[in-house]
Amino acid sequence: MMPRCPLFVISKGRWESRLTSKALEQAGVPYRIVVEPQEHDQYAAVIDPKKILVTPFSNLGQGSIPVRNFVWQTAVEEGFERSWVIDDNIDGFYRLHNNLKLRVETGSTFRAIEDWSDRYENVGLSGPNYFMFASRKTKMPPLALNTRVYSCILVNHALDLGERWRGRYNEDTDLSLRVLKAGWCTALFNAFLILKQTTMTMKGGNTDELYKGDGRRAMADSLVEQHPDVTTVAWKWNRWQHQVDYTSFKRNKLVLKGGVIVPAGADNYGMELEVDEPVEVEDGGM
């Protein structure tokens, strides 16, 4: 069972590591990796060129924002109502089930999130939680409403926010907040997880362009400037970090589409557990 919406992996300077690409290849999930023209040949040497989408610009110095807007517009022009935008430093996709974090080698998790999102009139963003933020030793709901969605995002193209992606920093958080402030809902799935590498631990991407020097503090301060009503700056995990209060968005309520009947019981979307030997994966990554 494969996703119905297109998957776009935003990548720069990571043709050697290409973690997300490898994970999707292993799962057999179709995708396109989006790169700037000056890096096409390096990526084409290790990835099927048919899977490479080249931007019409290069080295704008604005982080991933221009690429994300290019992807959004591309998906709209191709006739899709939603599209996935995914970071390039994800080392695997997982399902949290019966207190185990199980690596997924299928497109079913993407499809399940798509189908759930399509039940409602007003789901703007949805996606899986970070591996490290979903504890397998704690009872957790399958999803959390009206909070941030990071790094692997199903974007509803019906969003009309004046701007799509904007700024240079914290683009995921800024978009989540603008979606919520506009009255839409977001959905962060604990049932499905991504094992994302910790920010600034891999070369390429935004590491050199945005985060060097005092970039972490500048990044946090920029979000406070954009959303001073819900954002503060704190020292966490040995670095400056923005801190957002999402409690005011609990009033945003899901609106079920007319005629939709939510089926009873669990649908595993064809997923079956296959285990050769028990493997324990520690909580970690970000």
Please report whether residue 91 resides in a domain.
yes
Please report whether residue 94 resides in a domain.
yes
pLDDT in tens, 29-65: 999 999 999 999 999 999 999 999 999 999 998 889 9
Domain extent for 45: 7-251
How far is it, in rounded angstroms, from Cα 173 to Cα 185? 14
Question: pLDDT at residue 285 above 50?
Answer: no
The model's confidence at residue 199, banded by pLDDT at 50, 70 and 90, is low
Residue 133, phi then psi, degrees to nearest 5: -95, 0
The model's confidence at residue 6, banded by pLDDT at 50, 70 and 90, is very high
Measured CA to CA in angstroms, residue 71 lies from 53, 74, 78, 128 at distances of 9, 5, 11, 20
Please report whether residue 276 resides in a domain.
no
CATH of residue 20? 3.90.550.10
- The residue type of 238 is N
Please report whether residue 157 resides in a domain.
yes
Please report whether residue 262 resides in a domain.
no
The radius of gyration computed from the CA coordinates of the chain, to the nearest angstrom, equals 18
CA angle 150, 191, 245 (to 5 degrees): 45
pLDDT: which is higher, 145 or 198: 145
How many separate domains does the chain show? 1
Please report whether residue 240 resides in a domain.
yes
Query: Span 193-202, mean pLDDT?
Result: 74
Question: pLDDT at residue 283 above 60?
Answer: no
Please report whether residue 278 resides in a domain.
no
pTM, entire model: 0.90
Question: pLDDT at residue 286 above 50?
Answer: no
Q: Is 25 exposed, middle or buried (0-12, 13-18, 19+ CB in 10 A)?
A: middle
- For 138, the token pair is 């704690």
pLDDT in tens, 228-277: 999 998 887 777 788 999 999 999 999 999 999 998 888 999 998 887 65
Please report whether residue 171 resides in a domain.
yes
- Contact partners, residue 4, CB within 8 Å, separation at least 6: 111, 114
